[in-house]
Chain A
Amino acid sequence: MATIVQIDPTQQLDPFKSVKKIPTHEFFTSGHRTCQGCESALVMKMMVKAAGPRTIVLGSTGCMYVANTTYYSTSWVVPWMHTQLGSSGSAALGAAAGLKAQMRKGKMKQEPINVIAFCGDGGGADMGLGAISATMTHPDYNLLILLYDNESYANTDIQLSGSTPWGANTTFSTPGSVKRIMHHRWKKNMAGLMAVGHPTCRYVATICMSYGLHGMNSIRKALTIGGPTFIHSLDPCPKGWDYDPIQSHELGELAVQCGIWPLYEVEDGKLRLTGRTQQIADGKIPRKPVRDYLLRQGRFAHFTNDDLDYFQSKIDQMWTKWLIPGVIPFEKDLAADNPPA
């Protein structure tokens, strides 16, 4: 049978065995002006360190565009291209297709070059969702879309996005005496959406750079597997979440340990819980109450005990009722699941 899809070789990026094995060379260096405690900047630094020098990075408008590449400076050592807010998926597809064509024609040396496009939650979960979704259906090209999620339009002063948690205080959802909860939508399940809705997407993972080695190795795995791949990173944001910048790392850990941010990967359709999430699922460590996480952040300072209980109930539901806990939110009705004779 003729080969329909021709996938080029990828770089073989073995996982780092330990922190000590991570190279010291930086490809995201000084020159940016991100906020103190910005976890998204850490994601950029570790993303490209995991990918290595033969990498092209594209990024849509957002914090990691504006803060990293304005005012006469850039922090990128590797080639970098800005794309418009909704365009990270399409731009990555074009870059990967361009490289492939140049190599096929012999105009470039045949070598695996990583193509990574990042987007914020506004650019990825809102505006760019269609472009990323379409890109994930192209099996022919090796590329990674990394969604860095600080749960608001932080670059334009913290407006809510499709990824903002229920009830959070943003400049579009300011709590007041007339109405306490101004944001009623629940955060989009982007990684689940990508994994379930895109059979050609070869690898999906959730990460949090509070667990840096895990995050970097997930990125290396995505780039090694090739084809269209997607990683969703949760990034604590001192400005948008309203906490002392020194707590960024700890808040990321708490998001995972409370079960709000499950770590998992789906490789060619096979799901595996990873990191602390695996330990919680196995009962090795307890799942912490969400109030430990929420009350550390000013954006939830208006929450009453009822609000906290509601939030906890939604997370409990995610772990006890979902068809695949933390990943797939269908609830299987076993009683009704009797096919007709």
Chain B
Amino acid sequence: MHADPAGVLTGTHFLDGDHACCEGCLAAGARFASGYPITPSTEVVERFASRIPTVGGTFIQMEDELAASICLQGAVWGGAKAFTVTSGPGFSLMMEHIGYAAMTETPCVFVNVQRGGPSTGLPTLPAQADMMQARWGSHGDYGIIAICPNSPQECFDLTIKAFNLSEQYRVPVMVMMDEVVGHMTEKVVIPSADQLDVTPRKHTHKSPADYLPYQCNGDGSLVPEMAHAGEGYKFHITGLTHDERGYPNMTVKVQDQLVRRLCAKIENAKDLVAYEAENLEGADVVVVSYGITSRVAQRAIDQARAQGLKVGKLRLIIAWPFPEKVIRELAPKVKAFVVPELNLGQMVREVERAARGAAKTIHVGHAGGGVHQPEAIVKAIVEANQ
């Protein structure tokens, strides 16, 4: 379906990534946000708070991130599309409720504008050190989706994608921005509403008598249909292990069925692969990057290619689920993967795991606080090529 024109600020704008993300939320149909201020993410909901009186909807300032991350889930079960934004310490506090959203299959979006950590760390400076936390931060096994924009334009585009995927798979989706992407200002083109595809909620067509909230239809889909509170459907939503009725059932069998499905609906999905590739054919070295680092990596790739090196580019747009098959198939054809990221080694471990020893994996990283120097990546490319 098309986007609701009320939330689409059609035109060409000069926006920073945080504000573009907010416009993406509105265009995707989000009319509810629960927020708590934390640098460098606050501008997303500041804009939402000032836009919502004219668009229609609700913004609530919460008392902390624990509250923000569950308030939005209440709104979702009440029928809204909802999101929250945070950074570093706030993301840590949200972890329990991210797991709750995964367990209850609540479609919602968490925006994390990453900053340096651990703890308070570098509130106003960038890092990409929450990538593993986005995947594994909450306890237990579950599937998750994480998207990494690298420009204000992508903050708009990919935020809409995040909402669409959350509705399609009934899963919390992480928009993993970083401080530089959040605060850089660039041209952002917002198309008209009829050019924006928005995924509606997977609402059940069954009658209340026939509806079971966690029953899959038998059409091969691992995603059950949803109903909202107050519509006459019987409801029992719980973080406990539950059966198709939603009732607690803590047997080994039900736990295994449920958790396997929560993982499989993401891991088995064919359309959860999104990356940007250039010059992979015949490449000796492939630079794997994401977020702001991909823009520095582009410069490094250009410099290395100017030196005559055969360098390919693979930019992760969807980081989780990780595009394991792409790396696995590339690995025997290349000498090495170079993985620049603003951390001391996170996604590089996935690259290394997926490569299965068929190619070297070289990490180029630091603990955050600023972007890479392109020369550091070029140096790694040259070394990898030897």
CA distance A209 to B64 in the complex (A): 28
Q: Decide: A85 and B63 in contact? CB cutoff 8 A.
A: no
Q: In the complex, what's the smallest C-beta–C-beta distance from B161 to chain A, in angstroms?
A: 27
Interface residues of A in 130-187 (CB under 8 A from B): 153, 156-157, 159-162, 171-174, 176, 178-179, 182
Do B42 and A159 have beta carbons less than 8 Å apart?
A: yes
Instruction: Select A126's contact among B46, B50, B63, beta carbons within 8 Å.
Output: B63
CB distance from B124 to the nearest CB of A (A): 10
B53, A178: Cβ atoms closer than 8 Å: yes
Is B137 in the interface zone, CB < 8 Å from A? no
Check if A119 is an interface residue, CB within 8 A of chain B.
no
Instruction: State in angstroms the CA–CA spacing of A176 and B63 once bound together.
Output: 24
Chain B residues, Cβ within 8 Å of A82:
120
Complexed CA–CA distance, A182 and B53 (Å): 9
Q: Does B45 contact A (CB under 8 A)?
A: yes
Interface size class of B (residues with CB under 8 A): 20 to 34
The proximity string for B residues 283-325 relative to A, scoring 1 for CB distances below 8 Å and 0 otherwise, is: 0000000000000000000000000000000000000000000
In angstroms, Cα B89 to Cα A173, docked, is: 24
A86 at the interface (CB under 8 A from B): yes
A61 close to chain B: CB less than 8 A: yes
Q: Are B53 and A176 in contact (CB under 8 A)?
A: yes
A127 within 8 Å of B (CB atoms):
yes
| Chain A residues whose C-beta falls within 8 Å of the C-beta of B53 in the assembled complex | 176, 178-179, 182
Q: Within 8 Å CB of B119, what residues of A?
A: 84
CB pair B64–A85 under 8 Å, yes or no, is yes
Known: A84-B120, A156-B38, A176-B53. A127 touches B46 (CB 8 A): no
Complex alpha-carbon distance, A173 and B61, angstroms:
9
Is B59 part of the binding interface, using a Cβ–Cβ cutoff of 8 Å? yes
Residues of chain B within 8 A (CB-CB) of A179 are 53
In the assembly, what is the distance between CA of A37 and CA of B373, in Å?
A: 41
Contact status of A153 and B49, CB under 8 A, knowing A85-B64, A126-B63:
no
Instruction: Write out, one digit per residue, whether chain B residues 7-49 have a CB within 8 A of any chain A CB (1) or not (0).
Output: 0000000000000000000000000000111110010011001
Interface size in chain A (residues, C-beta < 8 A): 25
Task: Specify which of B38, B45, B49 lies most central, judged by the most chain A CB atoms within 10 Å of its CB.
Answer: B49
A48 interface contact, C-beta 8 A = no
- Please tell me if the beta carbons of B61 and A159 are within 8 angstroms of each other in the complex: yes
Contact with A84, one of B39, B49, B54, B89 (Cβ below 8 angstroms): B89
B window 93-134: CB within 8 A of A? 119-120, 123
Q: Are the C-beta atoms of A61 and B61 separated by less than 8 Å? A: no
B182 to chain A, nearest CB (A): 14
Bound CA span A174–B42, Å: 14
B42 A156 Cβ-Cβ under 8 A: yes
- The contact of B35 among A129, A161, A162, A172, by CB within 8 Å, is A172
- Complex Cα distance, B101 from A259, in Å, reads 46
Q: Which residues of B contact A129 (CB under 8 A)?
A: 63
Whether B63 contacts A173 by the Cβ 8 Å rule is no
Q: Which of A61, A82, A85, A153 is most buried by chain B, counting CB atoms within 10 A of its CB?
A: A85
Indicate whether A153 sits within 8 Å of B64 (C-beta atoms), given known contacts A173-B49, A182-B49: no
Q: Which of B35, B39, B50, B61 contacts A174 (CB 8 A)?
A: B50
Minimal beta-carbon separation of A167 from chain B (angstroms): 14
What residues of chain A lie closer than 8 Å to B63, measured between beta carbons? 126-127, 129, 162
CB-based contact B49/A172 at 8 Å: yes
B120 touches A159 (CB 8 A): no
**A32 CB → nearest B CB, Å:** 17
User: What chain A residues lie within 8 Å of B39 (beta carbons)?
Assistant: 156
Q: How far is the CB of A126 from chain B (nearest CB, A)?
A: 4
**How far is A88 from B21 in the complex, measured between Cα atoms in Å?**
33
Contacts of B49 in A (CB 8 A): 171-174, 182
- Collect the chain B residues with CB atoms within 8 Å of residue A159's CB: 37, 42, 46, 61
Decide if A171 touches B54 in the complex (CB within 8 Å). Answer: no
- Docked-complex contact B59 and A86, CB < 8 angstroms: no
Which residues of B sit under 8 angstroms from A66, Cβ to Cβ?
A: 123
Which single member of A127, A157, A160 contacts B64 (CB below 8 Å)?
A: A127
State in angstroms the CA–CA spacing of A129 and B199 once bound together.
Answer: 39
Would you call A171 and B64 a contact (CB within 8 A)? no
B28 to chain A, nearest CB (A): 21
Known: A84-B89, A84-B120, A172-B37. 20 other contacts (CB 8 A): A61-B120, A84-B119, A85-B64, A126-B63, A153-B37, A156-B38, A156-B39, A156-B42, A157-B37, A159-B46, A159-B61, A162-B63, A171-B46, A171-B49, A172-B45, A172-B46, A172-B49, A172-B59, A176-B53, A182-B53
Q: Can you list 29 A-B pairs, Cβ within 8 angstroms, ordered by A?
A: A66-B123, A84-B120, A85-B64, A85-B89, A127-B36, A129-B63, A153-B37, A156-B37, A156-B38, A156-B42, A157-B42, A159-B37, A159-B42, A161-B61, A162-B63, A171-B46, A171-B49, A172-B45, A172-B49, A172-B59, A172-B61, A173-B49, A173-B61, A174-B49, A176-B53, A178-B53, A178-B54, A182-B49, A182-B53
